[in-house]
């Protein structure tokens, strides 16, 4: 390369190209790493910090950037009374923010130090201009993005992306753990989820004033209730009709997640109405918190409503009330109550994708299939929760052996010991072996009216357990016979009573066989 190939900046590429390169950074931390690598890069960044940061924010959120910004900038969020919880706890997460993400990005000359904590001066001017009635999302997204905001954007975008993955898995393509939504479907989902995030931040129960004082004056209470209802209705009125329908669908999805989380908690199903008041961040936390107590992230809300439970009637209509009024005003029918409302997000959604292939019931968020077992063996478990998983680990899986085999101590011990060797690949190994060796037992047709098992099945937990119950002992017999010759068969096979209390008998004979004497 000759000296003439170099630009004034001493590099073989011009400042414009460097600027362009910076806008392609996929994350704020990669942007930061890039500008700290080279003085020239840093200098170029300082010329246009706002546009570069905005471009990177777009790379993170996609086309939902205006809504993502609105979620953290809307002036009504700032006005929350915070009676009993910080904003981060009620609405959008300030936790999980990554400290290593960009500290120098707002080195723009125009942005003073306070920009990092406060909404920008420009935004304040906008707010002063618009008051709190007509918020123009275009205006809200105009101001330069501050360093603090980059972190909030990142944290919220992670939540939205993960919810999109879950949605895609549940309604579009259960074989993939990451979103298979198209560009425009993904945009519809994300925009709607940010709308919901904002809605639950602005209208969360902390603003309701359901204290006993207001009971003294019922009329005042009704008046206040109506005023708040009108405010919510007005807030939603700015959305287009497709956006309203999409908002309904993501709200239903959030309720579905919460319902899944509380299925073993003893709470009534109406509790899923809490999902909209809690907002996407906290509901995803519940979903991820299933190992111990899924409702822990909602504890303060549950405390708050404790005296009001039967849940507060306003909770059920938090979104649906003003939502329906808006549709009514446009002469639009309410969203369908069956599965077809999901079509608002994607026309490719099918109900079958969310159902067990065997019993046709919804499998919730736990599905048992080869793709699930493959993910598990790769150390991922997006779809199976620890409570379910522990049931099938090497320690416990012998409980799925057929009939009295599972009470055969000698057999269970030996099985657990062998199973340990497969580690996280245990279920994948069992599934593959049973199909490759063609030893899967189908129940005789006259005994059941369910379809045959197939190796491509997606099963609910109940059906998977019956599959194991019918077939696991065959797999264990295959594994065992590979390392030692099997003992003579006991006449009573897996139904033998003696194997459960007589260890000598259990060890002396093979019980991994059918009963031949009755
Ligand atoms: Zn099933
Ligand atoms: Zn026996």
Of residues 411 and 107, which shows the higher confidence score?
A: 411
- Give the per-residue pLDDT at 112: 37
Q: How far is the CA of 280 from the centre of ligand 1 (A)?
A: 29
- 468 CA distance to ligand 1 middle (Å): 13
Q: Residue 311's pLDDT is what?
A: 59
Cα torsion angle, 388, 390, 392, 398, sign: negative
SS3 content of the chain, % helix, strand, coil (to 5): 60, 0, 40
How large is the C-alpha radius of gyration of the chain?
Answer: 29
Give 32 Cα–ligand 1 centroid separation in angstroms: 49
Ligand 2 centroid to residue 171 C-alpha, Å: 48
- To the nearest whole number, what is the mean pLDDT of the chain? 82
Each residue of 185-236: pLDDT tens digit?
999 999 999 999 999 988 877 766 655 444 555 666 677 778 888 999 999 9
Could you give the 3-state DSSP secondary structure of residue 364? coil
In the predicted structure, residue 126 carries a pLDDT above the cut 60: no
pLDDT winner (highest mean) among 142-156, 196-210, 384-398 = 142-156
How remote is the CA of residue 352 from the centroid of ligand 1, in Å? 12
Q: What contacts 24+ positions apart, CB below 8 Å, involve 397-400?
A: 397/426, 397/468, 397/472, 400/465, 400/468, 400/469, 400/472
Q: How far is the CA of 326 from the centre of ligand 1 (A)?
A: 39
Question: From the CA of 501, how far away is ligand 2's center (Å)?
Answer: 10
Q: Please check the confidence at residue 290 and state whether its pLDDT lies above 80.
A: no
For residue 492, the ligand closest to its alpha carbon is: 2
Q: Rounded to the nearest whole angstrom, what is the distance from the C-alpha of residue 44 to the centroid of ligand 2?
A: 80
pLDDT of residue 406: 93
**Which ligand ends up closest to the CA of 507?**
2
Nearest-angstrom CA–CA distance, 458 and 372: 9
In the reported structure, the alpha carbon of residue 174 is separated from the centroid of ligand 1 by a whole-number distance in angstroms of 15
Ligand 2 centroid to residue 467 C-alpha, Å: 24
Q: Are 492 and 515 in contact (CB under 8 A)?
A: yes
Least confident of 127-136, 271-280, 367-376: 127-136
Residues 6 or more apart whose Cβ sits within 8 Å of residue 340: none
Which string of b and e fits 29-67 if b means at least 16 CB within 10 Å?
A: bbbbebbeeeebbeebbeebbeebbbbbbbbbbbebbbb
Residue 39 has pLDDT above 70, yes or no: yes
Among 257-266, 309-318, 402-411, the least confident range: 309-318
Q: Report which bound ligand comes closest to the CA of 364.
A: 1
Q: Give whole-number Cα distances, 516 to 489, 493, 511, in Å.
A: 9, 7, 11
Please tell me the distance between residue 434's alpha carbon and the centre of ligand 2 in angstroms: 25
Q: How far is the CA of 400 from the centre of ligand 2 (A)?
A: 19
pLDDT digits (tens, 9 = 90+) for 396-452: 999 999 999 999 999 999 999 999 999 999 999 999 999 999 999 998 776 678 899
Query: Mean per-residue pLDDT for 42-62?
Result: 91
Q: What distance in Å separates the CA atoms of residue 31 and residue 101, rounded to the nearest whole number?
A: 9
- The Cα 296–Cα 374 span in angstroms is 31
Residue 306 near residue 223, CB atoms below 8 Å: no
Give the pLDDT confidence score for residue 386 in this predicted structure.
62
End-to-end alpha-carbon separation of the chain, Å? 90
Give the residue from 160, 153, 151, 156 showing the smallest Cα distance to 190: 160
Contacts of 93 (CB under 8 A, 6+ apart): 155, 156, 159, 281
> pTM score, two decimals?
0.83
Centre of ligand 2 from the C-alpha of residue 490, in Å: 5
- Ligand 2 centre and the CA of 103: distance in Å? 70
Cα–Cα distance, 159 to 172 (Å, whole number): 19
Q: Which ligand is nearest to the CA of 488?
A: 2
Residues 369 and 173: their CA atoms lie apart, in Å, by 13
**Backbone phi and psi for residue 459, each to the nearest 5 degrees, phi listed first:** -115, 150
Q: Any residues with CB less than 8 A from the CB of 216 and at least 6 apart, and which?
A: none
Amino acid 518: pLDDT: 84
Distance from Cα 481 to the centre of ligand 2, integer Å: 18
Provide the token pair at 141.
Answer: 């997204």
Residue 216, both tokens: 């003294």
Strands (E), 451-514: none
**Ligand 2 centre distance from Cα of residue 472 (Å):** 19
Å from CA of 511 to ligand 2 middle: 6
For residue 363, report the distance from its CA to the centre of ligand 1, in Å: 7
Residue 466 Cα to ligand 1 midpoint, Å, equals 9
Residue 310: asked if its preceding bond is cis (omega within 30°), the reply is yes
């Amino acid at each position: 390369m000759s000296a003439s190939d170099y630009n004034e900046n001493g590099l073989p590429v011009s400042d414009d190209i460097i600027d362009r390169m910076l806008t392609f950074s996929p994350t704020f931390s990669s942007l930061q790493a890039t500008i700290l690598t080279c003085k020239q890069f840093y200098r170029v960044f300082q010329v246009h910090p706002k546009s570069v940061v905005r471009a990177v924010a777009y790379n993170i959120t996609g086309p939902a950037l205006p809504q993502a910004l609105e979620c953290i900038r809307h002036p009504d969020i700032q006005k929350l009374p915070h009676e009993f919880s910080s904003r981060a706890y009620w609405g959008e997460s300030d936790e999980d923010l990554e400290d290593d993400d960009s500290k120098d990005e707002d080195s723009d000359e125009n942005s003073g130090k306070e920009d990092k904590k406060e909404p920008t001066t420009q935004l304040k001017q906008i707010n002063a201009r618009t008051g709190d009635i007509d918020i123009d999302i275009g205006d809200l997204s105009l101001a330069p993005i501050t360093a603090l905001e980059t972190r909030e954007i990142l944290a919220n975008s992670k939540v939205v992306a993960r919810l999109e993955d879950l949605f895609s898995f549940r309604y579009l393509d259960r074989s993939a753990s990451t979103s298979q939504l198209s560009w425009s479907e993904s945009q519809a989902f994300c925009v709607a989820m940010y709308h919901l995030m904002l809605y639950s931040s602005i209208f969360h129960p902390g603003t309701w004033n359901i204290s006993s004082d207001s009971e003294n004056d019922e009329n005042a209470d009704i008046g206040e209730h109506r005023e708040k209802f009108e405010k919510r209705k007005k807030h939603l009125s700015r959305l287009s009709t497709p956006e309203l329908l999409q908002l309904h669908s993501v709200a239903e999805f959030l309720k579905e997640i919460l319902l899944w989380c509380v299925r073993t908690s003893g709470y009534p199903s109406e509790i899923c109405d809490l999902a909209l008041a809690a907002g996407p961040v906290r509901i995803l936390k519940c979903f991820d918190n299933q190992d111990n107590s899924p409702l822990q992230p909602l504890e303060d809300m549950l405390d708050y409503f404790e005296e009001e439970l039967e849940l507060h009637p306003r909770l059920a209509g938090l979104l649906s009330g003003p939502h329906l009024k808006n549709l009514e005003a446009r002469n639009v029918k309410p969203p369908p109550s069956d599965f077809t409302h999901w079509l608002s997000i994607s026309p490719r959604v099918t109900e079958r994708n969310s159902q067990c292939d065997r019993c046709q019931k919804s499998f919730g968020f736990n599905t048992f299939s080869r793709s699930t077992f493959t993910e598990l063996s790769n150390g991922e478990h997006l779809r199976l929760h620890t409570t379910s998983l522990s049931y099938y680990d090497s320690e416990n899986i012998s409980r799925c052996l057929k009939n009295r085999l599972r009470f055969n101590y000698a057999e269970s011990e030996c099985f657990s010991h062998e199973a340990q060797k497969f580690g996280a690949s245990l279920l994948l190994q069992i599934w593959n072996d049973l199909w490759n060796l063609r030893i899967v037992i189908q129940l005789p047709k006259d005994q059941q009216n369910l379809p045959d098992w197939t190796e491509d099945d997606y099963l609910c937990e109940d059906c998977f357990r019956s599959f194991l119950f019918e077939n696991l002992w065959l797999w264990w017999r295959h594994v065992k016979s590979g390392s030692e010759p099997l003992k003579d068969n006991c006449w009573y096979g897996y139904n033998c009573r003696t194997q459960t209390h007589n260890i000598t008998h259990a060890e002396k004979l093979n019980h991994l066989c059918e009963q031949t004497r009755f």
